[in-house]
A and B are shown apart, each in its own frame.
Chain A
């Protein structure tokens, strides 16, 4: 535990420096892509706990993101809407009006999403495989439809005017947090039990694993960080709308996992970076050959070919970086 805190402190200090360096010397567009990569990593690593470790195929991550984004925005943003009864425009001042409120707001968003994780997790416990996928997809769609109907938070037009609090420092702080938590989680009894459920639920139950409870906890964990990622994205883009969080977003995150290797955190990170940075890089290629849309076609083709020829993704269920690390440091006995 002590080491964990130390690593955290050091990496935060480094991040602070990196953030300053980027803001000072690097092109805004590049920073933006780096930030988006960070948000994708948070999403992919958290979804990996539900889909990869626990084997519960969820397609509802965008729904959790939406909840996190809107709840955190509720705490930081002035809401302006037309009050029908009073027949005038109303503005609600935010609860946290300074930048200090950003992290508490994000965490509130995370908690709200985690609560939604319980709501989704418990009733869908009975479902497996593609039925679970389609039920969680349905949940995500219901969330966006509900948001569309709330005029107070912008309805279908979206909510503009979020303060630009997200920067490389905050985003990558949460990247480090989610990676550290998930790293320790994978090695904990909890993580082992999740893997046992994935491999054979019945056998896991026989060994004394409370599958129902753990599955819901996996949903809570994944949803919490998805909510944080939603909040980070909202305060990066400064505008959120229900369309941002439709089920294509969920599918995007799933594809990141599948590309990297479902069940591998390293895979999730690599998948998230590739699928966020590559489309940006291909944007120029696309306009230079004059075929708009070819990027997305290639994206879907890659997905199909990947499933046919390498369904386990780049890393499979392995964590390649750790092996590499051990090979580079041969004298260290016992690793952890």
Chain B
């Protein structure tokens, strides 16, 4: 029944797939932190997070288009480095604002109602952004400005596209920066306090509303970076690109242990590698890997790999 590939599966091929999986997993990790941070603080699955990732890609696409980097026909000009930085910044800022706006308008009015109501609202926001995106951008796939010519780089036994290397490096830097921010700075401490016990944090003088807004902003910034990176690697934007990505990133967060940032990184990488390796045999079954992983994790160790065990959260 398995639709096997024609090529023989060798050890080198598996290694190659693992390398690709690391790049894929880095993106999962970037998006997964958004889920993990928000869930840690609000116990809410922010279903709209995948759409923030999608919008991150679009928010960097349109400025580049206005500047003439996505011509209708002919060869795409290469985007200069300073402009790439500006496009990243544009996407990050716009998504941070969007994240805070979603929190303010949709989730804050529901902070004291049932978790079910919040969950359904989150699904609603996700649908709204998808359908709004389809109206605003059109359902047809869009190209993306050229950040760099894709070429394979030989790294020992594996060859990895240079764009994928950029993804891994940028994601690693972002994740490390986030970890430092949460562990070493005062707003980071406030975030940890809120996730530990929101009421006590408020009593200790933490501005809870502002901290929650900050949490959404940071998660959205990470998702925006993920969106731009993926668009650079696979220049094909659609308003529905965030749907599956968001689900899988959430699963990565559950796998790593929801509420834990290193967990999100680990879960993302493991999921990316698992998908790629299964993809060696069957690309369609690779799509099922994430969901099977999810169900297994929930059954065997619902707190995830690096999550705090003990507390009945499930």
Contact = CB atoms under 8 A, between A and B. Distances in A.
Interface of A: 57, 123-124, 126-131, 133-135, 137-139, 141-142, 145-146, 148-150, 156, 251, 254-255, 258, 262, 291-294, 296-297, 299-301, 303-304, 307-308, 311
Contacts of B125: 300, 304
Interface stretch (B26-34, B110-118, B208-216): B110-118
A303 B288 contact: no
B128 A301 contact: yes
B292 A254 contact: no
Given A123-B295, A127-B314, A145-B287, A307 B120 contact: yes
A133 B291 CA distance: 13
B45 A130 contact: yes
B288 A311 contact: no
A149 B119 CA distance: 31
State the main secondary structure of chain B at its contact with A: helix
B299 A308 contact: no
B284 interface: yes
Interface in B263-314: 282, 284-285, 287-288, 290-292, 294-295, 298-299, 302, 314
Nearest to A307: B121
Contact of B128 (A57, A128, A141, A297): A297
Interface in B245-270: 247, 250-251, 254
B134 interface: yes
Nearest to B312: A128
Contacts of A123: 295, 299
A141 B288 contact: yes
B114 to A, nearest CB: 7
Interface in B188-227: none
In this complex, the interface size class of chain B, counting residues with CB under 8 Å from chain A, is 35 or more
Which among B119, B125, B247 has the greatest number of chain A C-beta atoms within 10 A? B119
Interface string B110-146: 1001111111110111011011101100000000000
B117 A139 contact: no
A150 B115 contact: no
Contacts of B127: 251, 296, 299-300, 303
Which among B115, B123, B135 has the greatest number of chain A C-beta atoms within 10 A? B123
Given A142-B291, A293-B135, A148 B128 contact: no
A142 B3 contact: no
A129 B115 contact: yes
8 contacts: A127-B314, A129-B116, A130-B43, A130-B115, A149-B1, A251-B123, A304-B128, A311-B110
Given A258-B120, A303-B123, A291 B131 contact: no
